[in-house]
């Protein structure tokens, strides 16, 4: 008889797909959180097939950026899979007129942020229409809604409406695009200085005092659950505004496990939030470059004693975490915390220990 939670984070580079399995006795309820880019759908399908998963009780699309939602278009179209319910926001329902959004996008010009908004609207329509065509029930994931044992902690509908309203403001779209370009330029300058002046000692950079991310990221559905008093938090690409609201509304201090948002970007967390969450274990889905995961973010968690794992390290592969009792899963070895591979090898100690007994990485 089982009584536990399994978390599988797939390795898709800078894209997200997490399978959460809630075990009770010999029955299981599964929630799929996002499905990566459109090209990742075969990887997600193969992973599910490997676990003999044919039914997903709840599909949660946290937000409509392609690296979270693109794979769902093909996955929801796969008639070999059964879906109980689709949870995703439909921004069209929260603006006075979609034509106004497209007018704002056009007025903003061909900037990256404008293109992202257009893609988000098109993806939202595709996902909703596919689910409707298959007769899959749909609901928007707002605070307080429950996907089985998983509760939506953010956004509230009011908060979401405010974010979507920015889609009709051409000047805000331009400002966000300019802010992203400044951030990218700052990254390039820091990396150049680190390589040419101090041979990498600046690569850690630092946490931002007031990190800002896009309205689409802030609209991410943040979800959480507990097992035997241990709190687990899934953050998608939520930023400081959304996560601060979560910290005010829920008991999320000293988490047991959390997802580091936005592939470890420096634009989504500040020192206060990291110190509040202070998880025992944190996972991040990332490609493994200077920005994702950001070394300053990882080191801030490690400073608190958090064991941080990334899907790219030391070799790309899915990560698995569980609490309670779940079925045994062959083919997994103990994972290695970020940047600890050489340290462990030097000590001659096995990676596996009682402390890491529930943290497994695929090979």
By DSSP bridging, strand 257-259 and strand 281-284 are: parallel
Cα separation of 19 and 208, whole Å? 31
Return the structure tokens found at 290: 């200077």
Residues 259-283, mean pLDDT to the nearest whole number = 97
Q: Please say whether the beta carbons of 238 and 222 come within 8 A.
A: yes
CA atoms within 13 Å, Cβ hemisphere of 175: 9
pLDDT of 88 above 60: yes
Q: Please say whether the beta carbons of 22 and 148 come within 8 A.
A: yes
Q: Is the dihedral of CA 138, 141, 144, 147 positive or negative?
A: positive
Tell me which residue has tokens 């950001």: 294
Write out the CATH class of domain 2-362.
alpha beta
Cα separation of 124 and 263, whole Å? 22
Q: Please say whether the beta carbons of 22 and 322 come within 8 A.
A: no
Q: DSSP labels for 202-270?
A: TTT----SS----HHHHT--EEEEEETTEEEEE-TT--HHHHHHHHHHS--TT-SEEEPGGGG-TTS--
The helix (H) or strand (E) run that includes residue 118 is helix 112-134
| pLDDT score of 109 | 72
Cα Rg of the chain (Å, integer): 20
C-alpha to C-alpha distances, 112 to 103, 109, 163, nearest whole angstrom: 16, 9, 18
C-alpha to C-alpha distances, 353 to 310, 315, 324, nearest whole angstrom: 19, 20, 17
Least confident of 112-116, 201-205, 209-213, 326-330: 201-205
Render pLDDT for 172-221 as a digit per residue (tens, 0 to 9).
666 666 666 665 656 655 555 544 444 333 345 689 888 989 888 999 99
More confident residue, 179 or 326: 326
Task: Kindly give, in sequence order, each residue whose CB lies less than 8 Å from that of residue 112, ignoring residues fewer than 6 positions away.
Answer: 177, 180
pLDDT of 310 above 90: yes
| pLDDT score of 191 | 55
Q: What is the mean pLDDT of the chain?
A: 86
Q: Please say whether the beta carbons of 220 and 237 come within 8 A.
A: yes
The helix (H) or strand (E) run that includes residue 303 is helix 295-303
| pLDDT score of 155 | 98
Residues 160-176, mean pLDDT to the nearest whole number = 75
Return the structure tokens found at 331: 């083919």
| pLDDT score of 122 | 85
Q: Please say whether the beta carbons of 119 and 167 come within 8 A.
A: no
Residues 18-46, mean pLDDT to the nearest whole number = 97
Return the structure tokens found at 181: 């370009």
Least confident of 77-81, 153-157, 173-177, 353-357: 353-357
Cα separation of 186 and 181, whole Å? 9
Cα separation of 230 and 281, whole Å? 11
Render pLDDT for 135-157 as a digit per residue (tens, 0 to 9).
999 999 999 999 999 999 999 99
């Amino acid at each position: 008889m089982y009584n536990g939670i399994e978390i599988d984070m797939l390795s898709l580079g800078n894209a997200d797909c997490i399978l959460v399995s809630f075990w009770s006795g010999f029955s299981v309820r599964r929630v799929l959180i996002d499905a990566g880019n459109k090209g990742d759908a075969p990887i997600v399908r193969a992973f599910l097939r490997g676990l003999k998963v044919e039914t997903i009780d709840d599909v949660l699309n946290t937000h409509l950026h392609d690296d979270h939602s693109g794979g769902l278009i093909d996955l929801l179209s796969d008639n070999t899979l059964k879906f109980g319910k689709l949870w995703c926001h439909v921004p069209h329902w929260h603006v006075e007129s979609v034509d106004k959004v497209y007018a704002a996008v056009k007025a903003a010009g061909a900037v990256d942020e404008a293109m992202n908004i257009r893609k988000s609207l098109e993806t939202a329509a595709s996902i909703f229409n596919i689910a409707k065509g298959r007769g899959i029930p749909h609901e928007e994931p707002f605070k307080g809604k429950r996907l089985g044992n998983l509760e939506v902690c953010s956004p509230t509908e009011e908060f979401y409406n405010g974010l979507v309203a920015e889609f009709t403001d051409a000047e805000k779209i331009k400002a966000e695009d300019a802010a992203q370009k400044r951030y990218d330029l700052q990254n390039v300058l820091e990396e150049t200085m680190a390589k040419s002046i101090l041979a990498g000692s600046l690569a850690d950079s630092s946490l931002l005092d007031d990190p800002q991310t896009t309205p689409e990221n802030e609209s991410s559905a943040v979800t959480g659950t507990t097992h035997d008093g241990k709190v687990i938090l899934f953050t998608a690409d939520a930023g400081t505004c959304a996560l601060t609201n979560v910290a005010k509304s829920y008991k999320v201090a000293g988490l047991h496990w959390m997802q580091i948002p936005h592939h470890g970007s420096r634009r989504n967390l500040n020192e206060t939030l990291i110190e509040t969450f202070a998880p025992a274990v944190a996972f991040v889905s990332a490609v493994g470059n200077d920005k994702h995961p950001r070394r300053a973010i990882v080191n801030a968690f490690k400073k608190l004693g958090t064991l941080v794992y990334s899907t790219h390290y030391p070799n790309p592969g899915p990560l698995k975490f569980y609490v309670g009792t779940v079925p045994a899963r062959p083919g997994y070895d103990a994972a290695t915390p970020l940047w600890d591979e050489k340290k462990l090898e030097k000590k001659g100690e096995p990676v596996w220990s009682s402390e890491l007994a529930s943290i497994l990485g695929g090979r």
